[in-house]
Structure 1
Amino acid sequence: MELKEIISKEASPALGPYCHGRKYGSMIITSGQIPLTKEGEYIYEVKAATKLVLKNLISIVEAGGGSKNSVARVDIFVNSLDDFSAINETYAEFFGDYKPTRVCVQVEALPADVPLEASMLAFAEE
């Protein structure tokens, strides 16, 4: 099997020497996404930031042949666990009845002092 690069036209551009994601067989692994729009604007309000990050991640998963319902795991890194309930509320609205596995940890710092960064592990629906 070949390790293929995934690029989404919907997600914000990579800010460093990495790609949006990789696909190996049916497995899709995304890079971390921060709340950055395609136009280069950072979003700091927690609920709007969470929604944007999840939307960007799903666009990468979809570019690899997956969907919301093929997401196996979401890793979330937050600047402050004080934002945990707002992130949970937005996360629950985004995924609805589907519940991927998840990790959520507080970290010391994130790029541009954004409130969160997240990544996904998903599978293509081929």
Structure 2
Amino acid sequence: MERHVISTPNAPSSPLFSQGVRAGSTISVSGMVGVDPATGVSAGPSIQDQTQQSLRNCEAVLNAGGGTIADITMVTVLLAHPDDFAGLNEAYADFFDEPRPARAVARLGPELPGVLVSIAMTAQVDR
């Protein structure tokens, strides 16, 4: 199956990974942090601020690959601090309507200065 790299200026990028990859009808979005791509600066100091921005960054990659929020089947959330779980859930619930996609939450391994959350997604686009 042919893979197509997804790239957009509307989400953070790195030379170390693709923002997203589409293979057939599946879109995989790399872990996105809560950095505003327009400024290159963290969206804010709170888990809610960074979660909202991380989700917007994922959405930008999905859109660039031909997907939408409604196509998301799985979300993987990595938290720097487990105590931020309630704040994560607050921002997450505001972003997704019912029915919400499947989700896993784990602890972010490396200590990245100022980074509270990283979110990756998988979407199934049947068009």
Q: Could you tell me the TM-score, scaled by structure 1's length?
A: 0.91
Q: CA RMSD in A?
A: 1.4
- 8 Å Cα contact 1:64/1:124 also seen in 2: no
**Aligned: 1:63 with 2:64:** yes
- Following superposition, the deviation at residue 124 of structure 1 comes to 2.0
- Following superposition, the deviation at residue 47 of structure 1 comes to 0.4
- Following superposition, the deviation at residue 125 of structure 1 comes to 4.1
Residue 20 of structure 1 corresponds to 19
Residue 123 of structure 1 corresponds to 124
For each residue in 1:29-70, what CA deviation from the matched residue of structure 2 results, as whole angstroms up to 9, or x when unmatched? 011111111121023311010000000001111111111111
Residue 76 of structure 1 corresponds to 77
- Following superposition, the deviation at residue 104 of structure 1 comes to 0.3
Residue 8 of structure 2 corresponds to 8
Q: Displaced runs of 4+ in structure 1, greater than 6 A?
A: none
Distance in 2 (alpha carbons) for counterparts of 1:42 and 1:110 = 15
By percentage of residues, which structure has more strand?
Answer: 2
Q: State percent identity of aligned pairs.
A: 26
Residue 49 of structure 1 corresponds to 50
SS state at 1:87 partner:
helix
SS state at 2:41 partner:
coil
Residue 92 of structure 1 corresponds to 93
User: Number of paired residues?
Assistant: 125
**Aligned: 1:111 with 2:112:** yes
Distance in 2 (alpha carbons) for counterparts of 1:98 and 1:42 = 29
- 8 Å Cα contact 1:50/1:87 also seen in 2: yes
SS state at 2:36 partner:
coil
Residue type of the alignment partner of 1:98: P
Q: Could you tell me the TM-score, scaled by structure 2's length?
A: 0.91
